[in-house]
Amino acid sequence: MGLQLGDVTPNFTANTTQGELTFHEWLGDSWGVLFSHPADFTPVCTTELGEVAKLKDEFAKRNTKVIGLSVDPVEKHIEWEKDIEETQGSAVNFPMIGDPGRKVADLFGMIHPNASNTLTVRSVFIIDPAKKLRLTITYPASTGRNFQEILRVIDSLQLVDKYSISTPVNWTEGQDVIIATSVTDEDAKAKFPKGFKTLKPYLRLTPQPNK
Ligand code: BEZ
């Protein structure tokens, strides 16, 4: 059985484009996004890394550190980063793990042998400050990820951790949220002073509490 939501993520020491690091120490008290790339000098990955570099401030606002990985060595990542800056207009500003021995890729189950024996799939892991896995998504090598969706999930998780709520379909920051069914109507009145709409006893909507 691979890594599952709620598991404490594996710790590891790895060589990166920003020097050697130990994952849990590097994360510190931050949230983290670990994402894998099939290989260096590939087109979809080039666009993804440029986009994530542009989102630096968005991740920082969310107290989230980002780290990439491919099974190529760090020296190759460094060469590739020149192309990323040139073609995407943004320099890679987060560490990229070099994992030619697939140590980290295997720990996180990033190699799916029936897709490819040698390349990682496009995995995304969102990790909370307790180092627990809160989201995993796996994309095929041929589809670039939507990093607005990753930011959206971080927003949702951070809100859910503060209030007794969940977030509905297609929710984005600022929209109404759902009151947890464990909260009675009586308690909801105190907890959510902006009020709430009851569509069904199990479906009560309230304005986002921290807005
Ligand atoms: C890419 O990043 O473009 C890519 C990598 C591996 C397989 C297919 C596409």
pLDDT in tens, 74-83: 999 999 999 9
Which pLDDT does position 123 carry in this prediction? Answer: 96
Out of 14, 27, 34, 45, pick the active-site residue. 45
Mutate to test the pocket of ligand 1, among 37, 40, 45, 77 (most ligand atoms within 8 A of CB): 45
Alpha-carbon span 40 to 89, nearest angstrom:
18
Does the annotation count 163 as an active-site position? Answer: no
Ligand 1 center–CA 40 separation, angstroms:
9
Q: Is the dihedral of CA 47, 91, 155, 29 positive or negative?
A: positive
Query: Would you say 13 and 104 are in contact if contact means Cβ atoms under 8 Å apart?
Result: no
Sequence-distant (≥ 6) Cβ neighbours of residue 159 within 8 angstroms? 165, 167, 177, 208, 209, 210
The residue whose CA has the least distance to atom 1 of ligand 1 is 44
Domain architecture of the chain: domains with CATH? 13-145 (3.40.30.10), 163-206 (3.30.1020.10)
119 CA closest ligand 1 atom index: 6
Query: Would you say 147 and 138 are in contact if contact means Cβ atoms under 8 Å apart?
Result: no
Ligand 1 center–CA 29 separation, angstroms:
33
Alpha-carbon span 48 to 159, nearest angstrom:
26
What's the pLDDT band for 1 if we cut at 50, 70, 90? Answer: confident
Output the six-digit token pair for 200: 């069904």
Q: Beta 31-37 vs 122-127: how paired, if at all?
A: antiparallel
Mean of the pLDDT values across residues 8-19? 98
Alpha-carbon span 197 to 51, nearest angstrom:
38
Give the model confidence (pLDDT) of 131-148 as tens digits.
999 999 999 999 999 999
Give the model confidence (pLDDT) of 93-145 as tens digits.
999 999 999 999 999 999 999 999 899 999 999 999 999 999 999 999 999 99
Give the model confidence (pLDDT) of 15-72 as tens digits.
999 999 999 999 999 999 999 999 999 999 999 999 999 999 999 999 999 999 999 9
What's the pLDDT band for 14 if we cut at 50, 70, 90? Answer: very high
Ligand 1 center–CA 41 separation, angstroms:
9
Which pLDDT does position 38 carry in this prediction? Answer: 95
